[in-house]
Structure formats: C-alpha cells, structure tokens
Amino acid sequence: MGMGKCKHCGTTILFGGQRDSNGNLYCNATCMEQDVPSRAREILPQDVIDRYTDSIRESECPVCHGRCSPIDIQYSYRVVSFLVITQYSTRPRLSCTRCARMANIKDFLITAIAGWWGFPFGILLTPIYLIRNMIKFICPVGENAPSEALKDLSSTLIMQQLAEEQEANENTENAHTLNQLPQERNE
Ligand SMILES: [Zn+2]
Ligand SMILES: [Zn+2]
C-alpha cells in the first residue's frame, strides 16, 4: 500500500511499490536490490552491525579530532541565492555533536545572509532552512543512540571489508596454486 518515497531513488510512489522485510519502500525489485545498506542489514547479524556502529561512535571526530561526544552522521542546511538562481543543499558529515552545532551556526548565518535574494525559491526556502538548522542545533543526531543512517553506513563498510578479505583470500589461493604447479625442468 502506497504513498511514500523510494528509499533508494527518492521517487514518490503513489500506488504499489515493493517493501523489504524491514518495511522499507521501493519503486520495484531493481531499486530494492540497489539499496546496498538495507540489503547488508538484512544479511549481517545485528550484533556485528551494533559492534561496528559503536566503534565508529567511540572513535575520534573526523573534523576536530576530539573525543568529546559520540560520532554520528550530522546534517546542516544551506540556501544561497542570486536573482533567479537558488541553490539549496542538505550537507551531511560524520562528526561529533560540537562540530555539528558549529556547522549549523555557520550554515544558519550563510543562509540568513545569502538565502533570501532569489525569487521565488530563495524567499520560500530560506525560513525553512533556518529553522532546520535551529532544530538540529537543539537536537543533534545520535546523542542517545546511533542513527539508522549510521547503521546503514556501518553495514556498507562491513560488507566492503568482507568483499576485500574474500578477494585477498582468493589471491592467496591463486598464489598457492601457482606454487604447487610443477616447476619447469631443465632436461
Ligand atoms: Zn526507486
Ligand atoms: Zn568534532
């Protein structure tokens, strides 16, 4: 039963669509296949994902290199306009909450100064984006528990590591086989 957005491509789905076992909605089977993080989260054991997610949360902040608070995927929002051109962006970053709040302040100020000067989208979007920065400043992501987006990221990274390990193993196996081939003999 419809009305939602495809988790993979973001298309609005009015009728039909397809859901995975976690209830995520997709246009069709192709979009479902291509949503790598969700497929990974179905395959991988929950405790493996949790442990990896915790290790990211407890690691050094990639922005300030501090260890003051849990790391998560944080967002800030920016609108910049010039006459009829309005650029608006949601800017994700992996950081601590302190760096996230700094980014919210910075993008709030940039938007407050440069957002308004486009018609119509600058005028329409600027107040919304200012409020979005304020909300995230008050409630940064992942203060009490990891976000779903961070769990998605962990799952993708685990799958990448597994793929790399498998490839490395295959290479050693090949090397092994080559070593076992009979040596050329000088006859
Ligand atoms: Zn889709
Ligand atoms: Zn930081």
pLDDT along the chain (187 residues), means of 10: 81 91 92 93 94 96 92 97 93 96 98 95 96 97 94 95 90 69 60
Nearest-ligand number for the alpha carbon of 27? 1
- Residue 48 Cα to ligand 1 middle (Å): 28
Closest C-alpha among 107, 105, 106, 102 to residue 90: 107
> What distance in Å separates the CA atoms of residue 92 and residue 80, rounded to the nearest whole number?
17
- Residue 32 Cα to ligand 1 middle (Å): 8
Per-residue confidence (pLDDT) for residue 175, from 0 to 100: 72
- Residue 38 Cα to ligand 1 middle (Å): 13
- What is the residue-wise DSSP string for 56-111? HHTS--TTT---SS--EEEEEEEEEEEBTEEEEEEEEEEE-HHHHHHHHHHHHHHH
List all residues 6 or more positions away from 132 whose beta carbon is below 8 Å from its beta carbon: 77
Nearest-ligand number for the alpha carbon of 66? 2
- Residue 101 Cα to ligand 2 middle (Å): 9
Nearest-ligand number for the alpha carbon of 5? 1
CA distances (Å), 44 to each of 26, 38, 49, 62, 136, in order? 21, 10, 7, 26, 31
- Residue 136 Cα to ligand 2 middle (Å): 15
- Residue 144 Cα to ligand 1 middle (Å): 31
* Neighbour-count burial of 166, counting CB atoms closer than 10 A to its CB (0-12 exposed, 13-18 middle, 19+ buried): exposed
- Residue 18 Cα to ligand 2 middle (Å): 39
Nearest-ligand number for the alpha carbon of 13? 1
- Residue 7 Cα to ligand 1 middle (Å): 7
What number of CA atoms fall less than 13 Å from residue 118's CA on the CB side?
A: 20
Q: What is the pTM of this model?
A: 0.81
Closest C-alpha among 151, 184, 147, 130 to residue 53: 151
Per-residue confidence (pLDDT) for residue 66, from 0 to 100: 93
Per-residue confidence (pLDDT) for residue 120, from 0 to 100: 92
Domain spans of the chain, in order of start: 1-34, 36-170
- R_g (Cα) of the chain, nearest Å: 23
CA distances (Å), 113 to each of 63, 107, 130, in order? 25, 10, 11
Type of residue numbered 92? P
Per-residue confidence (pLDDT) for residue 183, from 0 to 100: 61
- Residue 116 Cα to ligand 2 middle (Å): 30
